[in-house]
Structure 1
Amino acid sequence: MTLFGLSEPVIRLLAFSSIFAALTIIELWAPRLERDEMRGALKSRRWFTNIAMVVLSSVVLRIIFPLAAVGTAIWAQEAGYGLFPLLGMPLWLAGILAFLVLDFAVWLEHVVSHKWPWLWRIHRMHHADTGFDLTTALRFHPLEIVLSMLWKAAIIIALGAPPVAVLVFEIVLNGAAMFNHANIRLPLAADRILRLLIVTPDMHRIHHSTDRRETDSNYGFNLAIWDRIFATYTQAPRRGQTGIEIGLSEWRDSRTANLGWALALPFVARPESGKPDLGKPTEAGQ
């Protein structure tokens, strides 16, 4: 797919680079938290691991699933598959509905990745980061990225989602994830207004708490409405935003910033059991 003479991978790379650069500058200018995990040598190691993870995941995804989301939408459109073409739905309406359904599907996938033990083993690598900044949004295991793409591809085919809507969704989802993981300080009034519609950093940071009651909430990556509709919304952390403990209580040391350790995490046991972890969330949870 091309737009303005640019291919889909180039469009996504330009969008990613622009958003990443902008949020990096804002994090330096107006950070929300000031912690050891957010600066110095440990931050450098975290950034290397988290950025390396997204590079590895992207390569693995293109090898295993070369069509990716937009390519799948183009293939489904050419084959005439999906509910929207069957109903003869106008492009603008199909685009809006596709965006909403895909956003809900990602929210649901996130909830299931916490509730289903085998998926939690993979997803917990994202939560093992003891820092919280825009690079945390890139820290997903390659296995999770592939599984997520398979899920999105199934939704895209079932809907017959317009390729341009899928492209917009993928860019927005990626940018929103970096935004709501960013270590940036928003005015409280702006945060209250924004989180009525979209997930803000203060809202999503709660999901990365070591307190399971807080982690089992605020699952959204983009639209904030799903957590409100399904009663998984938490307004504020018990310890406050500056006192919140980030990460998993099982692993609270510098190993979490190591790339090899992070890649191996789905296959290791919880330290307290000494036995293979079948994925049951701990009290610190998710």
Structure 2
Amino acid sequence: MLDAIATPLLATFELIAGYFTDANQRIYWLYSAVAIAMAIAVFLFKRLPLTALISRDIWWHPSARQDYVIFFFNRLLKMLGAIPVLLVMAPMAIALSGWLETTFGHREFIVLANWQIIALFTALLFLVDDFTRFLLHYLLHKVPLLWEFHKVHHSAKVLTPITIYRSHPVESFLYGMRMILSQAIAVGVCYYFFGPTLSMFDILGANVFVFAFNVMGSNLRHSHVWLSWGNVLEHIFISPAQHQIHHSDKRIHIDCNFGSALAIWDKAFRCLVLASTVKHPKDITFGLGKSFVEHDSLPAIYYMPLVNAFKKLNPLTYKRKKTLPEQR
């Protein structure tokens, strides 16, 4: 009995430890170290006390403590129910390649230099992944049923790098399926045009574009460190400050800046907000408003989205009303 409990717990701790040594994870030690250095530089430039970076009011806030527990518990669920991506992605990629051949006919593989194929495949992987992240995030806000699950993430009252893992298991499942689909699309399309020998440019095992995004302070997106890239770059890339705007509890901000790395999708969907539009960044507060207490307990974080989603599925009880932050 004890072994049945201890084994998955130990495996979960090992999985969490791996997040700090895997360059594909946001809190990889190098990304975290660079983010700390950038945060210190920002505070020194703005002449802010460095002690604020390790404020107990942030790192030990009840909301932050929820994030730590959710991070562990969701990893436990992931470990128990994980499906190896390649077991699902590979058949989907082959099926897509077959569909392309059936629809557009058989074609000889395009002959390019190996580095050119690698560059195209690497770029396509990144673009498809980033766009599908944006699209799912957009739908999580716009579809009332999905919003009930995404509210868990937005109910965070303080932001730390661990807040990225604050999500309901249903949302985590959707993002997992999105990842499988995006990789299958990139692999299937490139297989059809270039053949089965595919590889990508990587740094420490991470897509070079993903590595660049993470090393440029991605961990500051969920933080109280206001870092803007400036108006020109923020039309192309989402800065940490822009994502903090997305977490603002002001109604005018919650449906903007859905992008992960690229801002071009938000610009195309007319939901891009630049950091320069916020006159007083220090006045931004996070969450869903003071009156929102639905996720103040851990059990409620897991069961309330299911309850509310069921209500929305029931036409007799559902009234089309989206829960948004109170107007401030």
Give the TM-score normalised by the residue count of structure 2: 0.65
Cα distance between partner residues in 2 of 1:279 and 1:17: 44
Measured after TM superposition, the shift of residue 28 of structure 1 is 6.2
Are residues 1:55 and 2:67 paired? no
Cα distance between partner residues in 1 of 2:258 and 2:38: 24
**Paired residues of 1:82 and 1:159 also in contact (CA < 8 A):** no
Question: Corresponding residue for 1:246?
Answer: 286
The alpha-carbon distance between structure 1 residues 177 and 14, as it changes in their structure 2 partners (threshold 3 A), is closer
**Paired residues of 2:124 and 2:186 also in contact (CA < 8 A):** no
Pairwise mapping of residues 171-186 of structure 1 onto structure 2 (< 5 A)?
Answer: 178-186=219-227
Measured after TM superposition, the shift of residue 39 of structure 1 is 3.4
5+ unaligned residues in a row in structure 1: which ranges? 1-5, 270-275
The alpha-carbon distance between structure 1 residues 12 and 235, as it changes in their structure 2 partners (threshold 3 A), is closer
Measured after TM superposition, the shift of residue 281 of structure 1 is 1.9
**Paired residues of 2:26 and 2:218 also in contact (CA < 8 A):** no
Question: Corresponding residue for 2:184?
Answer: 157
Question: Corresponding residue for 2:12?
Answer: none
Question: Corresponding residue for 1:273?
Answer: none
Pairwise mapping of residues 106-125 of structure 1 onto structure 2 (< 5 A)?
Answer: 106-125=133-152
Question: Corresponding residue for 1:138?
Answer: 165
Cα distance between partner residues in 2 of 1:158 and 1:142: 24
The alpha-carbon distance between structure 1 residues 97 and 48, as it changes in their structure 2 partners (threshold 3 A), is same
**Paired residues of 2:64 and 2:159 also in contact (CA < 8 A):** no
Measured after TM superposition, the shift of residue 231 of structure 1 is 0.8
Question: Corresponding residue for 1:105?
Answer: 132
Cα distance between partner residues in 2 of 1:64 and 1:13: 19
- Aligned residue type for 1:208: H
5+ unaligned residues in a row in structure 2: which ranges? 1-17, 102-106, 111-116, 189-197, 309-316
**Paired residues of 1:180 and 1:202 also in contact (CA < 8 A):** yes
Deviations 1:115-166 (A, max 9, x none): 1112111100100011133232221222211111112212322332667579
Measured after TM superposition, the shift of residue 242 of structure 1 is 1.5
Question: Corresponding residue for 2:56?
Answer: 40
Pairwise mapping of residues 1-286 of structure 1 onto structure 2 (< 5 A)?
Answer: 10-12=22-24, 16-24=28-36, 26-27=38-39, 30=42, 39-40=55-56, 43-44=59-60, 45-68=62-85, 72-73=88-89, 75-76=90-91, 80-83=94-97, 88=109, 90-160=117-187, 164=200, 167-168=206-207, 178-186=219-227, 190-236=229-275, 240-249=280-289, 251=291, 258-267=297-306, 280-284=321-325
Identity, in percent, stands at 21
**Paired residues of 1:107 and 1:226 also in contact (CA < 8 A):** yes
SS at match of 1:212: coil
Deviations 1:199-254 (A, max 9, x none): 1121111111222221111111211111112211112456631212311026456x
**Paired residues of 1:181 and 1:201 also in contact (CA < 8 A):** yes
Deviations 1:65-115 (A, max 9, x none): 3214x6655x349x7444499674633212211210110010000000011
The number of aligned residues is 266
**Paired residues of 1:183 and 1:201 also in contact (CA < 8 A):** no
Q: Structure 1 residues 42-51 or 201-210, which shifts more?
A: 42-51
Bigger Rg, structure 1 or 2: 2
**Paired residues of 2:226 and 2:281 also in contact (CA < 8 A):** no
Cα distance between partner residues in 1 of 2:199 and 2:304: 35
SS at match of 2:281: coil
**Paired residues of 1:102 and 1:152 also in contact (CA < 8 A):** yes
- Aligned residue type for 1:126: H
